[in-house]
Amino acid sequence: MNENDNFTKLDLIDDEWRELQLFCDFLKPFFEFIEEMSGSKYPTFRILLILLDHLLEYIITIIDDNLPEIPQWIKEIAEDIKTKFNSISTNLYNSTAYLILVLDS
């Protein structure tokens, strides 16, 4: 039995499969972020900030997107993530962080 067999047992309708695929698509940039930040690559602080900016732009795009194919529940998750980003951004974007960026280059 392979991994995909487990999903077919869920007996989802087409709309549910579509939403599941949209959610997987939504999560892909977060997976890529985690891969990039993994310990085997030792990213710099500069790379961290660039990747966080990229993720924040992506989240804002999802929230502001008026296309009906993005379900409201995904937008609500994006809103929650944006709130968490806002709470950590004050710690990351300050004069000390910019000094580190200069020294990190």
- For 53-102, the pLDDT digits (tens) are 899 999 999 999 887 889 999 999 999 999 998 888 777 777 777 777 77
**Which structure tokens are listed for 10?**
């869920």
According to the model, what pLDDT value does residue 23 have? 95
DSSP state of 70: S
Supply the pTM of this predicted model.
Answer: 0.76
Domain, as residue range, for 21: 3-104
Domains in the chain, number: 1
Q: Minimal CA–CA distance to 32: which of 45, 14, 47? A: 47
Rg (CA), the chain: 18
- How do residues 28-64 score in pLDDT, each as one tens digit? 999 999 988 887 667 888 888 888 889 999 999 999 9
pLDDT band at residue 1 using 50, 70 and 90 as cut-offs = very low
